Structure 1
Amino acid sequence: MTQDEQEIRQLIELWLSATQAGDVDAVLSLMSDDAMFLSAGQQPMIGRDAFARGLNKVLSENVIESTSEIAEIVVCGDLAYCRTRLTVTITSKHGQLPILRNGDTLSILRKQADGKWRLTRDANMLASAA
């Protein structure tokens, strides 16, 4: 495994743990300013600010726990893509039943001028696991 692949794996683990901890700033530090998120049936979410608003809203009422199985990482210069199988459990802070979603994701990462990998595009095909 190359150093770049290890760094991308670490980014994914940090993303999951920071999300579970409710550390929105840590999650935002892992993405480019112009990050774009694609989900079926939704308009693209563009930029850190839009992502922060959405994540803060969800975390105000819920806790998010996720696991990710990395199926593939391909690095080509300062671009990489990663394909994963993601499982997300959203648990209400108010006693409502948890929501379970799972599915595949495809993420594009770019190595920034500071030498760190950051997520720049993400498409997820999560669906209800009910």
Structure 2
Amino acid sequence: MRSDEQAIREFHGIWIDAVNAGDLARLLAMTTDDVIFLTPGEEGLGRDAFSTKFSGAHQQLRIRCVSELMEVVLVGEVAYTRSRDSLTVSPRAVGEESRLSGDRLTIYRKQPDGRWLLARDANVLSPVEG
């Protein structure tokens, strides 16, 4: 049987793959019903607002995320990870590519069936100059 830490590490990789694929259905299946996404300068997003923003972004942009998992901490039925993320964002039409980089803190909750789901996600990504 795999450990909870291994499950969280696998979850992280699957999440990043789904982000890069624009697979909203897979992402939503990996979140709690009360999930909140926090980003700089914006109010927290719940499931519906996240869905709208994610879909709109992937219709207009090619998004490529690379994420290095720096830390996994488990405390009973809750876990958190800290990662260092780099995003490359390219318009599907014309326009300049942009890059963002920074840290992300994610909180997971273990479900009664043993699965871990993403409950809170906060990033402090900012534009990379030059």
Identity of aligned residues (%): 37
Partners of 2:92 and 2:49 lie apart in 1 by 23
Map 1:47-66 onto structure 2 (within 5 A).
48-66=47-65
CA shift, 1:114, in A, is: 2.1
Runs (4+) off by over 4 Å: none
Are 1:113 and 2:112 an aligned pair?
yes
Give the structure 2 partner of residue 72 of structure 1.
71
Paired residue type of 1:25: A
Partners of 1:27 and 1:99 lie apart in 2 by 23
Paired residue type of 1:16: I
Query: Root-mean-square deviation (CA), in Å?
Result: 1.2
CA shift, 1:95, in A, is: 2.9
Paired residue type of 1:89: T
Are 1:38 and 2:31 an aligned pair?
no
Partners of 2:38 and 2:19 lie apart in 1 by 18
Map 1:61-100 onto structure 2 (within 5 A).
61-100=60-99
Partners of 1:114 and 1:64 lie apart in 2 by 32
Paired residue type of 1:12: H
Q: Over residues 43-81 of structure 1, what are the superposed CA-to-partner deviations in whole Å (9 max), with x where a residue is unaligned? A: 1112x2221111001001112111111111000111001
TM-score using structure 1 length? 0.93
Give the structure 1 partner of residue 27 of structure 2.
27
Paired residue type of 1:124: N
Are 1:122 and 2:93 an aligned pair?
no
**Number of equivalenced pairs:** 128
Q: Over residues 18-61 of structure 1, what are the superposed CA-to-partner deviations in whole Å (9 max), with x where a residue is unaligned? A: 12112110111111111111112111112x22211110010011
Q: Is the 8 A contact 1:72 1:84 kept in 2?
A: yes
List alignment gaps of at least 5 residues for structure 2: none
Q: Is the 8 A contact 1:32 1:119 kept in 2?
A: yes
